[in-house]
Structure 1
Amino acid sequence: MTTLTISLWDFSWYTRTGPGEPFEDLDRAFAEAVERGYDTVRICAMPYLLFGSGLDTSALTFAPFGRGYGLRTRWHDVRETAVIDGRAHLLALFEAARAHGCRVIVSSWEYQQSPAFLADPSWHEALRAVPAQRRAMALADALAELVGFLAVHGLAERIAFVELHNEVQTTALTEMLSPCESPVLGLRPYLEEAIAAFKARHPGVPVTANYAGVPVGELRGVPGNVDVAVFHPYVYGVLDELVDSFALRDASVPFPQERARLELLRPDAPDLEDWAPEQEWRLAATIVSRREVYVHDWCDPARFDRWLYDRYATYRYGMAEKLRLWIETAADWAAERGLPLVLGEGWVGYTPLHGMFEEGPVGAEICLEAVGHARRVAAWGTVVCSNAAPQHPMWADLDLQRRANTLFTEGR
């Protein structure tokens, strides 16, 4: 089985297509990926929007959030308005992949954040209208239609495998579960039913669901009928301390505005309560918290990085061990079931667009360690890092990406 060297293009391949944006020219983006040693891209293929929502997708408008909101974050930094024909753009991506000898991992971020980038709430509302118990099946049906559409155009052979959804346990797929129920364990019957339905229509296309982190202690919740074991080992460590210290993901705790000004923010930063997109509905259409966007938008990236570097020594060993143990655990679970292992995202965590912690010397070392583990456990595929894609500054570091991809494919 040929290895997959994966670049994470997520939803940026359609949200960032305006003038001067990284995906304005898909052919160029693939050429640059191959130059860096990649042979696979992983995308949100917007399956429900294109093949389940019933919406007219012939002129989809993707636009900035307005007021500069999100422009210094990763993934949310849409800078130009773009209008695309959704299905035609999907075909263009697969045609470019074929021209450059690349494969595509077909996924969905729709129950996490993709709809937030459309200029109107129709996509978000269509997804919310699906009863929670039916959402996994609705995605399976839409993905089956998408694969059939690609097959008609002779492009389905470019699919590496299909993911029902990205990081299923952190999505709106879980809304029918009780608050005390484990999302990983509770989702299993719904995911198994949906995967079985997809397999009935496309038995030759590998299908799976993927997980945030490696759910150690709950791996029995992964559906028994997946064809690929896919996990995203973000270890956080020192970044967790920052997230917790500034309550970036816990709205039940007051935001420490003055401490943030003292330790992280630029002098011209507004207060948190004064920072929001022009359209309120967008906040409900993304899982990234308003607080996290605010700190990423208004931090001084050097201060943010220094905060992490100052504390990293305390976490270094633990982060390295967690990464190793998670990858080994995932590999062992996959091997026992005879499944290929893919690390489709991972390493440290969500940092500001211009923060260099994961692009700098510490992050580069973590990338090489992680890719080395992936090679050692004979993973089928891995990323260099989640930030190694055209929409991130790390794309400019050709040497690191080539080194990591060569390490994975050739062991050197």
Structure 2
Amino acid sequence: MTRPVGVPEHLPDRLTICLWDFSWYTRAGAGEPYADLDAALDETAARGHTTLRICAAPLLQAGGLGLDDLADALPVEGLGPAPTGGYYGQRTRWYDVPGGFTVPLRTRFFDLLAGAHRRGMSVVLASWEYQQSPAFAADPRWARAIHAVPHATRLDALAAAFARLLDDVHDAGLDDAVAFVELHNEVDFSTTPGVGPDDGDAAVRACAALRAAHPRHRVTVSLGRPPHLAMHELPAGLDVGQCHVYSYGVLDALQRRIDIRASGTDGFPNAALRALQVPGAPSFAEYGRPAAWKLAATVVTDQMLYGYDTIDADRWDTWLYEHYGEHREVMHREIASRVTALARWGAWRGVPTVVGEGWVGYTPLEGTFEEGPVGRSLAEHGMRTAAQEGVWGVVACSNAAPHHPMWSDAAWLRRVNEEFRGS
């Protein structure tokens, strides 16, 4: 096994990543998956994961925005109660946050780092703050404070916040627990500057500033849809190529058919979506919408929330299985070619590469397509390609973490993680 180029000496040759995202604090209520951090860490390590990838909420913790009281005691509400019963997002992934508790986020962050360090694990420190995280708070101040930062300087603000946070990490003796720093998740799908030709040097400038303050740590941003056919367009100055590899294929065909990811569509829901809903599903008007500030704080749309909360998961899965054959070859080819393009770019730039998310896409909470034989085969295909191409870190599946049903497939997770680490 060849050690990937540019990997710090204190970190392993291969990272097997578990996507804890913001759920480690939004799903930390009594009886929830992250209520007991030590138990969640033990389960994660037992499944063969070396690394967690989390929203460290740097702007909340160390952004200098007057939010210290929220960092010490964050009231978690989720997207709020729905008029038809329950709460918005209850049958989605990631947004299924019932809330109703307060979390000492700053204390919990250092408990998490210390717990990972004791187990010989590492943590990717990222932020989802300009994509989702503040929407789950009961208090809108977090969302309003970060969105008051001018768009052009938001990555700079994140770099400055991470610098202050890493000062405290260093003082706590936990530097070795940090795998690398990712200023923000999917800058191309967030309300931050991206890395394209229209975004100037914002990402490179912010990475350089944090690197200068903490040269021990590698710094980057991640991309949700990297330019796989033109990777040379990505700028120099990213210490890690952290790109997400999704091959939506049949899922995209279904999403377009039912128009579930848009907003403001006339005549929504259309007949195709109504045919997939649970019997007696409320109308779009009856379902309502979360508070306006919560929708503004996240990239999710009201149509997606309504669609996923009212979908019949068996009908959804049946449609995907019935049409998968039309997309199978392209999906396999896309995964392999995209992983390969990322790895070759990393070799050219002389930086390690990571697939922090993958492989099919965003499915309903109760759907089993990605957890089933088709989804697992696509994930294994991606992981094996990553191993062959010398990718440093890889996620088994974005849908495999303590807050997802796929977590119960512990044997599969352990097997594929061990295979990747031993490749």
TM-score by length of 2: 0.92
Structure 1 stretch displaced more, 269-278 or 158-167: 269-278
Once residues 298 and 252 of structure 1 are traced to their aligned partners in structure 2, the CA distance between those partners, rounded to angstroms, is 18
What is the CA deviation profile of residues 170-215 of structure 1, one whole-angstrom value per residue up to 9, with x for unaligned ones? 11114xxxxxxx8622235011111111111001111011101331
Aligned equivalents of 1:220, 1:281: Cα separation in 2: 38
Deviations 1:230-259 (A, max 9, x none): 100111011111111122223364354251
- Choose 353-362 or 277-286, whichever is displaced more: 277-286
Q: Say what the alpha-carbon RMSD is for the aligned residues.
A: 1.5
Q: Secondary structure at the match of 1:172?
A: coil
Does residue 359 of the first structure (1) align with residue 374 of the second (2)?
no
Could you say which residue in structure 2 is the equivalent of 1:391? Answer: 403
Match of 1:28 in 2: 39
Aligned counterpart, 1:6? 17
**1:63 aligned onto 2:77:** yes
For the Cα contact (< 8 Å) 2:53–2:125, is it kept in 1?
yes
Counterparts of 1:3-402 in structure 2, within 5 Å, are 3-52=14-63, 53-55=65-67, 56=69, 57-64=71-78, 65-67=80-82, 68-174=87-193, 184-251=196-263, 253-260=265-272, 262-402=274-414
Provide the C-alpha distance between the structure 1 equivalents of 2:309 and 2:196, rounded to a whole number of angstroms. 32
CA distance in 1, matches of 2:274, 2:75: 39
Does the CA contact (< 8 Å) of 2:195 and 2:235 recur in 1? no
User: Is the 8 Å Cα contact of residues 18 and 82 (structure 1) preserved in structure 2?
Assistant: yes
Instruction: Show structure 1 runs of 5+ residues with no match.
Output: 175-181
Cα 1:337–1:261 shift into 2, 3 Å: closer
Structure 2 counterpart SS, 1:149: helix
State which drifts further: 331-340 or 258-267.
Answer: 258-267
Alpha-carbon offset, residue 262 of structure 1: 4.1
Q: Which moved more, 1:344-353 or 1:84-93?
A: 84-93
**Is contact 2:231–2:341 with CA below 8 Å preserved after alignment?**
no
Structure 2 letter corresponding to 1:192: V
Please state how far the C-alpha of 1:219 moved relative to its aligned partner: 2.8
SS in 2 for 1:43: strand
Q: Find the residue that maps to 2:325 and give its secondary structure.
A: helix
Conservation of the 8 A alpha-carbon contact between 2:273 and 2:307: no
Query: Aligned to 1:314, what secondary structure does the other structure show?
Result: coil
Secondary structure of the corresponding residue to residue 322 of structure 2: helix
Query: Which residue does the alignment assign to 1:179?
Result: none
Return the TM-score normalized by structure 1: 0.95
1:291 counterpart SS class:
helix
**CA offset digits 1:340-359 (Å, max 9, x no partner):** 11000010000001100000
Tell me which stretches of 4 or more aligned residues in structure 1 moved more than 4 Å. Answer: none
Look up the SS of the partner of 2:162 in the other structure: helix
SS of alignment partner, residue 348 of structure 2: helix
Looking at structure 2, the residues matched to 276 and 215 of structure 1 have their Cα atoms a distance apart, in angstroms, of 37
Q: 1:196 to 1:258 in 2, by over 3 A?
A: closer
Judge which range, 208-217 or 237-246, deviates more.
Answer: 208-217
Q: Distance in 2 between matches of 1:187 and 1:39?
A: 34
Report the secondary structure of 1:184's partner residue. Answer: coil
Please give the alpha-carbon distance, in whole angstroms, between the structure 2 residues aligned to 1:12 and 1:303: 28
For 1:218 and 1:292, the matched residues in 2 are separated by 31
SS in 2 for 1:187: coil
Distance 2:396 2:182 in 1: 20
C-alpha distance in 2 between matches for 1:168 and 1:158: 24
CA apart distance, 1:260: 4.1
Find the residue that maps to 1:154 and give its secondary structure: coil
User: 1:222 deviation in Å?
Assistant: 2.6
In structure 2, the gaps of 5 or more residues are 4-11
- Which AA in structure 1 matches 2:115? A
